[in-house]
Amino acid sequence: GINIGSTYDALKQVEATGRFGQKGTWADRYIPMYGEYAPTGGIEIKAGVPQTIAQVIPLIRMLARVDIINLATSGAGTIAEEVYFVNPVGNGCVWVNPATYNTGTAQSGYMEPMLPAVLQKANSGDPLQGMGNPDSPLITYYLNEQPATSATLTTSGYDRPCIVLQLSYQSNIYYYRLDYTWDGIKGGGVPPYEKGKPMPILRNHRYIFTIKEVKGPGYRTIEDALRSPENHTNQNIVVTSVVVDEAFTDVTFNDVGQYIAVSRTSMTLKGKKTTASTDNKVEVLTNVTGGFSVRAFNDDGMEVPTGGWLSPSVPSGAANTNATVQAITDGKSFKNGYLEVRAGRLYTKVNVEQIGKIPLEYVAEHNLAGGSQYIFTFSSSEEPSGIPSTSAQSDYNLRWAASHNNNESGYYNWYVCNGIQHSQGNPSGKNLFSDVFFTSGAGKGYHLPSRWEWVGVFCYNYAYGIFLNSSTNHNNINEAIEFGGIKKTFASDYCNTGSNVTYALRFKPATGAPQDDSGSFEINFPEATDNRMLCAYRYELIPDGGPFSSHLKVQAVYLGSSFTGDINTIRDENWWTAQAATPGNVVTRTFPLTGVAQGSTILRYCGERFNYQSSTAYYTSGAWQLTFALGELWMRYDWDYMISAQGDAVRLFSDE
């Protein structure tokens, strides 16, 4: 065995004994598996500090699986009590070299067993007996790895592993031998892996013996069966043998020994996937003449039309060849569907869940700046004073802000942003979004967010949402939210620490109607019913650095339906540190405290608060803005006289 501090060489010597046995007995309840996780810099373990392993660690079973199928049309009776596994090994190595096994592909390059230094005989060298079932054509057994031949493992002079079946034929009991042989697919059928040649028993592989026809009597004793011709040359029994790498997680058979195998039955894909992607692959293998075909369907069973959100990278593949199929997705919105893989009358499917952008990802990286013909300029500042104007307020052309400094943004009133003529706020009827910046420039594909889009990033009301200066908690707050073409009511949990940080578990299933007003009706925002869009949010006020660099930082992590924690899980800074260890896992946006331009000449509250414009009117003479002040975040509305005389920052959202 090994202990803490044991060497890697010692790990290689670890053996397990007695794990072989028939499925349905104790054997398959505990099959040792092996995988490796060796990050750069090693693993640091600290008491009380949870750790998340971001990468997938393939686990390789140390046993092989043997399936014996006696077709009803074979001409033999049911498998009787005696099913013998001859020359079995009693011990096996747990360790296997992952590079040799090559877990990166479904049909691995693993061709030789990883054996203990000394092979032990199982069952004192006598054959292992499996139990046939008169009511089932199938038995499954698990065996240790062993070589194709062995001088130390012999029975009646026979030095190879094999299976001897007791079958009834024309009311008499006979014994027939089945051999482990290369199937002509694994190894490519080239020397020394030609079809019909003896092969070893390999871990994590499945050996399927299908008895297609029994043409004559077998042998009266096991010893005679061991001396008989091999099953593929024995004229009295016709058996097809197939070797399937168990990396193919799903194998579908029919009653004539044909099969179709796929390396995975589901995939969750975030963002757009192409043939250049690596996480959207599935390996397909079939022995059906004519090969296989692939089509894409929505989860309601309707085929995805050409050019739709999901398609296979190839429409078909040949038989007896390991083929790679990729799920091609557009990355837009949240979708569910599947790739249907068919070979003859055999059918399987690979479920595909598309994870679209989370709301924070729709937010542009920087504020809008420039466009002096649309803008509020200021000549002085108050609370605090001394804030200088910059080119962000005087440049003629619209552009993205050059930084997150608080005075590097433009200030625009609601009427100009929405192209509405107003005697005071927009007498000439200017429309910000008619500018070339939006029609053909860097802003093309962006829009002014609705108030419900802003709620998807922040909250509707600090009284039951984000209050950075207060240590209050609010659970199951129902909010009407819009993003990426989705309009639903979601529940959120908010945990305000009182120390400039708030954590939130957002986009939970709704527990009721939206807790706000003005148009957030359930008919427009139906209640979410699952955790498919569940996200963790972290809001932090960074007040240091003076009026030019104080800001609000927002971070989000997609969780989805597989998340089993709660708000207490994600309010831990160690959890966020672990999430950040995976590149791209944490989405971050910075919101400068830009203040408000009032009366065309005065900038107020720069470095202390912000207002952001929305596209949503408040009845006929008001408008909604996102506001942050005194640690509180909320959607507020102003009336005509205020929105015409005040310039607020603009943060754009992408259309897709």
DSSP letters of 232-256? TT-TTEEEEEEEEETTS-EEEE-TT
Residues present in the chain in total: 656
pLDDT at 569 > cutoff 80: yes
Q: How far apart are CA 259 and CA 248, in angstroms?
A: 12
Q: What is the mean pLDDT of residues 418-439?
A: 94
Q: Which of 611, 540, 550, 629 is nearest to 387 (CA)?
A: 550
**527 vs 510: CA distance, rounded Å:** 5
Q: What is the tens place of the pLDDT at every residue in 575-631? A: 999 999 988 899 999 999 999 998 667 899 998 999 999 999 988 888 999 999 988
| Separation between Cα atoms, residue 371 and residue 399, nearest integer Å | 8
3-state secondary structure 576-594: HHHHHCCCCCEEEEEEECC
Confidence at 142, pLDDT banded by 50, 70, 90 = very high
Summarize the confidence of residues 378-392 as an average pLDDT: 86
Compute the mean pLDDT over every residue in the chain, rounded to the nearest whole number.
89
Out of 2.60.120.200, 2.60.40.10, 3.40.50.1400, 3.20.20.70, the CATH code matching 265-355 is: 2.60.40.10
3-state SS class at 139: strand
DSSP string, 331-361: --S-EEEEEEEEETTEEEEEEEEEE---GGG
Say which residue the tokens 């397990």 belong to.
16
Query: Looking at 127-141, 150-164, 230-244, 467-481, which range is the least confident one?
Result: 230-244
Mean pLDDT confidence for 207-217: 87
pLDDT over threshold 90, residue 71? no
Q: Which residue has the higher pLDDT, 493 or 131?
A: 493
Task: Please state which of the four CATH numbers 2.60.40, 1.10.287, 3.40.50, 1.10.357 is assigned to the domain occupying 8-36+57-247.
Answer: 2.60.40
Q: What is the reported pLDDT for 483?
A: 94
> Is this prediction's pTM over 0.85?
no
* Dihedral angle computed from the Cα positions of residues 543, 544, 550 and 551, in that order, rounded to the nearest 10 degrees: -60
Pairwise pLDDT comparison (210 vs 11), residue with the higher score: 11
Residue 246 CA to residue 262 CA, distance in Å, equals: 10
- Name the segment(s) of the chain with CATH classification 2.60.40.10: 265-355
**Closest C-alpha among 130, 146, 119 to residue 63:** 146
The letter for the amino acid at 555 is Q
- pLDDT for the residue 323: 93
pLDDT of residue 545: 65
Do 438 and 464 contact (CB within 8 A), yes or no? no
pLDDT of residue 250: 80
pLDDT tier for residue 104 given thresholds of 50, 70 and 90: low
Q: What's the N-to-C CA distance of the chain in angstroms?
A: 55
Asked if pLDDT for residue 105 goes beyond 70, the answer is no
